[in-house]
Amino acid sequence: MTSTSAVLELRHITKRFGDLVANDDVSLVLRSGELLALLGENGAGKTTLMNILFGHYTADAGDVVAGGQRLPAGRPRAAIAAGIGMVHQHFALAANLSVLDNVMLGTEPMARLLSNRRAGRDKLTALGNKFGLTVDPDARVADLSVGERQKVEILKALYRDVRVLILDEPTAVLSSVEAERLFSTLRTMAANGLSLIFISHKLNEVLAAADRIVVLRSGKVVAEREAKETTRNELAELMIGRRVDRPVREPQLPGDILMQAYGVMVTEAGRTLLDKVDFDVRAGEVVGIIGVAGNGQAALGGLTSGLVKPASGRLELFGKAFERADGRHFVQAGVGRIPEDRHAQGVVGDMTLWENAVLERIREPRFSRLGCVRRQAAVAFAREIIARFDVRGAKPTTHTRLLSGGNMQKFLLGRTLIDAPRVLIANQPTRGLDEGAIAAIHRDILAARTAGAGVLLISEDLDEVLALADRVRAIVKGRLSPALSIAAADARQLGLMMAGIWGEADRAT
């Protein structure tokens, strides 16, 4: 049960990065046994605040107080010694080591000649059993699922006897089922006396899991609510500063087939990633592909973007078969893509926006001549993307890594849509984004559909597929279910399809 006693306080925290004020006089209190949600849109200052709390960043002003003691700024070891642990959004695990090795790493004195692995194993097993986080201690991290790696990250913190646990976007890479299990675990932790802060922008999970919610906007605390006394609509308005309405898909007859696959197999290192898949995408429609992470979505995105070669079968684009990987030709032919991982596959973070804007089309005469980049044209192109797709706080010369997740995704979408592609491959287009950014990206995808583009939407978000798709198929172990008209689909049926339960009765006519 939540206590009224404070275990942690942030007092008047301010942090600047040049002219950007990331945190502006932020104060909050965490109580014993409480699940506190820190809610805000992308770029609101949530992660910066938690990095100050954990000692990764030094605040320009303000104090962090744990257990009544002021923590020295910029010293993670001091935070750990005070019983504070942090699980980052991007996992920090050694993939080639075992679970036990990862958990024990850094917990024993350097002077000790032999590691006490037996005691470590016993403690890890006890923690797993207590909190419902059982993982094979001898399993290699590289062989674990995303959900299992999340468990290992939490066990790393618990192993150090933390009293306060911070989780940064803990469900960003989890399926809905894995997210439900995680929050069940977090509630068990709170019931056992831990105090938890989780950063999120997902309203449903915040309302379902949190005891109390603190809302940040533009680096400031704008509201604090008990979860049982607020609503999704109120939180959305507090986050964004205005009412947020998601667009509505209007009925529309599809046109000609633009992309079609016949019995395509994709393999890698002896593993089958796509297993004899057949599908088509027509002009003016959105085809949704729903599935739990790791079932072949990455291979499907690579295949349809021209980056992956079929081992067998045939992929046709605008009636012409392609039997080899040729991403540049796909771009030239009118295929635009939103890659699954915007950081690793979408942009080069240390390049400017104008450089990233022309990366996929640098050989076009408008952007280069005789081997030289036409910088003025590239800068103008980036400026048009920024203006038309509302990439906030950015200029063509801004380094791309400085954008928030939502603005980076809007920039990627703008780079793809500005020249009106005939086919759009949207792979997890709103993963990790807030309500405002999601609404904007959904609006742009539906506008491309209205303009006649064929859209292949690959998503793990049931609500997203139900909102955008005309037809939907599930992907399970590299196989595709029969297509189902969205008019005949509901969340329960799609959930069954994601589990591999489908039949000929589901086939759309």
In tens, the pLDDT along 450-465 reads: 999 999 999 988 888 9
Q: Is the pLDDT of residue 107 over 80?
A: no
DSSP state of 360: G
Closest to 464 in 3D by CA, of 432, 416, 420, 496: 432
Count of beta carbons in the 10 Å neighbourhood of residue 272? 16
Reported as a single tens digit per residue, the pLDDT across 113-172 is 667 888 889 999 998 888 878 889 999 988 887 778 888 888 888 888 889 998 888 876
Distance, CA of 412 to chain centre: 15
* C-beta of residue 217 within 8 angstroms of C-beta of residue 239: yes
Answer yes or no: is pLDDT of 106 > 80. Answer: no
The pair of three-digit structure tokens given for residue 10, joined into one six-digit string: 């942030």
Hey, what are 458's tokens? 């690959």
- Report the candidate in 486, 507, 489, 497 with the shortest Cα–Cα distance to residue 254: 486
CATH dotted code for 6-240: 3.40.50.300
What are the counts of helices (DSSP H) followed by strands (DSSP E) for the chain?
16, 23
Q: Are the folds of 6-240 and 257-349+410-506 the same?
A: yes
CA distance readout (Å), 366 to 361, 372, 420: 9, 11, 17
| Residue range 216-257, pLDDT digits in tens | 998 999 999 999 999 988 998 898 888 777 889 999 999 999
Sequence spans of domains, the chain: 6-240, 257-349+410-506
What is the CATH number that goes with domain 257-349+410-506?
A: 3.40.50.300
Q: How far apart are CA 349 and CA 343, in angstroms?
A: 7
Global confidence as pTM: 0.73
